A and B are shown apart, each in its own frame.
Chain A
Amino acid sequence: SAVISQKPSRDICQRGTSLTIQCQVDSQVTMMFWYRQQPGQSLTLIATANQGSEATYESGFVIDKFPISRPNLTFSTLTVSNMSPEDSSIYLCSGRDAHEQYFGPGTRLTVT
């Protein structure tokens, strides 16, 4: 199985700034994803992080707001740009191999 770590675990940011979240997997995974979980809600898929190419975004999410990189099979970053209080949420990184999908512990973001 894969273990996924995220940095930072939490942050408090000011409106209008940007935050980059890092995701590291301890083994190679075929697919990596970013999800958002707003307070008391389920997980919503933001995008699929593609190695060496542009991420594939779900409806309602755009690259200018959530730029994503995945330079190799074990690492990805998600940037939350020009933040507003509505971006306050938990952001989760996920990796998938042939057996199952794994999740990181999440990054709790509060925008003031």
Chain B
Amino acid sequence: SQQGEEDPQALSIQEGENATMNCSYKTSINNLQWYRQNSGRGLVHLILIRSNEREKHSGRLRVTLDTSKKSSSLLITASRAADTASYFCATSTSGTYKYIFGTGTRLKVLA
């Protein structure tokens, strides 16, 4: 079962533009992670944000978390063609140790 839903399902932008992806989830969480998956490849961990944090940065990535709205966003600034991939949020709910994945956003960055 999916804990999170992401939107948009697909996003196509020009190189240099910013890309924003949103993740909404249903139940209280301990933390939330964002992953990238290039076509046919494994998952790459991007950022972990804990339930008591509101924002985290890593290079060109910015993640926000709003626990009152049960939502998170991933912003990729100054996108590059190499950012073309699927992006997933995964949540760990209170009282469990497992991560449940969202539906994913397919990002295409056009050169």
Contacts and interface: CB of A to CB of B under 8 A. Distances in A.
Closest 4 pairs (CB-CB, A-B): A103-B43, A43-B101, A105-B42, A42-B104
Interface residues of A, number: 23
A94 B97 CA distance: 12
A59 interface: yes
B1 interface: yes
Contacts of B42: 92, 103-106
A33 B1 contact: no
Chain B interface residue bracket vs A: 10 to 19
Contacts of A43: 43, 88, 90, 101
Interface string B36-68: 000001110100100000000000000000000
A101 interface: yes
B6 to A, nearest CB: 9
Contacts of A102: 45
Given A58-B1, A103-B42, A45 B33 contact: no
A13 interface: no
Interface in A6-48: 30-31, 33, 35, 41-45, 48
A100 B33 contact: yes
B33 A101 contact: yes
B1 to A, nearest CB: 6
